[in-house]
């Protein structure tokens, strides 16, 4: 088990329905199976992260298959690792768990799948859908994860310092970092903003060695007003654009947009 105490960094072990460390810190296991390892001092609000409404909209949208090409690209990068021993996967900012479900369907062992997100509503949804996997409410900036315990990290649009990524990866472990490509949802941004900007190229991940980089681009043809609304609910910059433009989009029965993702794979140098 990779979880460690967020207060003292000692390993956590499950005793009945509580996760405990040797210093006596205790964390209840929720009925859905997840554990809350987010100390109150790491919260910036009462319920940090995406709202339950946004996460439910995201689940409906993703399970309709609109981002399936991205999920397939992620699986193509990571599933070859799954056949080597018993590798541990950690999904950072896992939300409601769509990509871990796709990896599990592709053959990654359920019991070796872990996910963290600061939004408790997302972790609750993920844990209910994958009871054999392991999920925790936690900050990607202060991962309650043991040093050198993870074989593969997945990060889809999630923030977090490079130091934490390097710390939790095993020597030789890999990070798959997914970020928006320059043209991602350009038509939508052009509608919402007076002066839209392309997504800038992400910075290299310090302390890790770049292995490869690829783009995943496809047309996003969204059909049905309810699905259009779900998509807008899960898209953060739709909430920051012009309100009148958003309201107009919410009345649409279809949207045709550009999906553009950048997938970068890194490795932690092997121990000498």
Assign 46 a pLDDT band (cuts: 50, 70, 90).
Answer: low
Assign 193 a pLDDT band (cuts: 50, 70, 90).
Answer: confident
Summarize pLDDT for 70-80 with one digit per residue, the tens. Answer: 999 999 999 99
Higher local confidence (pLDDT), 193 or 237: 193
Query: How far is Cα 263 from Cα 270, in angstroms, rounded to an integer?
Result: 22
pTM: 0.93
The predicted pLDDT at position 42 comes to 65
The predicted pLDDT at position 52 comes to 83
- CATH superfamily of the domain spanning 25-40+48-180+208-216+261-267: Vaccinia Virus protein VP39 (3.40.50.150)
The predicted pLDDT at position 182 comes to 92
Higher local confidence (pLDDT), 24 or 52: 24
The predicted pLDDT at position 196 comes to 82
Query: How far is Cα 235 from Cα 185, in angstroms, rounded to an integer?
Result: 10
Summarize pLDDT for 234-260 with one digit per residue, the tens. Answer: 887 666 778 888 888 889 999 999 999
Mean pLDDT (the chain, rounded): 91
Counting every residue written for the chain, the total comes to 272
Summarize pLDDT for 54-63 with one digit per residue, the tens. Answer: 899 999 999 9
Assign 87 a pLDDT band (cuts: 50, 70, 90).
Answer: very high
Query: How far is Cα 150 from Cα 87, in angstroms, rounded to an integer?
Result: 8
Sorted by sequence, the CB contacts under 8 Å of residue 45 that are 6+ apart come out as none
Could you give the C-alpha distances from 26 to 7, 13, 139, in angstroms and in order? 10, 10, 18
Query: How far is Cα 68 from Cα 178, in angstroms, rounded to an integer?
Result: 14
The predicted pLDDT at position 34 comes to 95
Higher local confidence (pLDDT), 26 or 241: 26
Q: In the predicted model, is pLDDT for residue 226 greater than 70?
A: yes
Assign 50 a pLDDT band (cuts: 50, 70, 90).
Answer: confident
Give all strands (DSSP E) within 16-74, no chain letters.
18-20, 26-28, 35-36
pLDDT over 90 for what percent of the chain? 73
Summarize pLDDT for 154-187 with one digit per residue, the tens. Answer: 999 998 899 999 999 999 999 999 999 999 999 9
Q: In the predicted model, is pLDDT for residue 150 greater than 60?
A: yes
The predicted pLDDT at position 43 comes to 58
Extents of the domains making up the chain: 25-40+48-180+208-216+261-267
């Amino acid at each position: 088990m990779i979880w460690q105490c967020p207060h003292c960094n000692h390993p956590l072990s499950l005793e009945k329905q509580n996760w405990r460390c040797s210093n006596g810190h205790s964390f209840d296991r929720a009925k859905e199976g997840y554990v809350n390892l987010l100390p109150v001092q790491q919260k910036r609000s009462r319920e940090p992260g995406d709202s339950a409404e946004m996460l439910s909209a995201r689940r409906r949208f993703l399970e309709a298959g609109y981002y399936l090409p991205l999920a397939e690209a992620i699986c193509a990068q990571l599933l070859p690792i799954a056949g080597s021993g018993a590798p541990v996967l950690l999904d950072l900012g896992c939300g409601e768990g769509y990509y871990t479900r796709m990896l599990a369907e592709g053959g990654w062992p359920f019991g070796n799948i872990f996910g963290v997100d600061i939004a408790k509503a997302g972790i609750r949804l993920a844990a209910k859908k994958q009871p054999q996997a392991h999920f925790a409410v936690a900050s990607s900036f202060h991962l309650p994860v043991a040093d050198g315990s993870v074989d593969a990290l997945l990060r889809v649009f999630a923030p977090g310092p490079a130091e934490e990524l390097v710390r939790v990866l095993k020597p030789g472990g890999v990070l798959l970092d997914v970020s928006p490509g320059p043209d991602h949802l350009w038509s939508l941004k052009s509608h919402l903003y007076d002066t839209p900007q392309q997504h800038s190229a992400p910075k290299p991940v310090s302390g890790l060695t770049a292995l490869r980089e690829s783009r995943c681009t496809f047309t996003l043809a969204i059909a049905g007003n309810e699905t259009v609304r779900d998509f807008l609910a899960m898209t953060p910059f739709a909430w920051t654009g012009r309100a009148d433009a958003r309201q107009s989009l919410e009345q649409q029965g279809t949207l045709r947009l550009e999906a553009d993702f950048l997938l970068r794979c890194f490795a932690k140098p092997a121990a000498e």
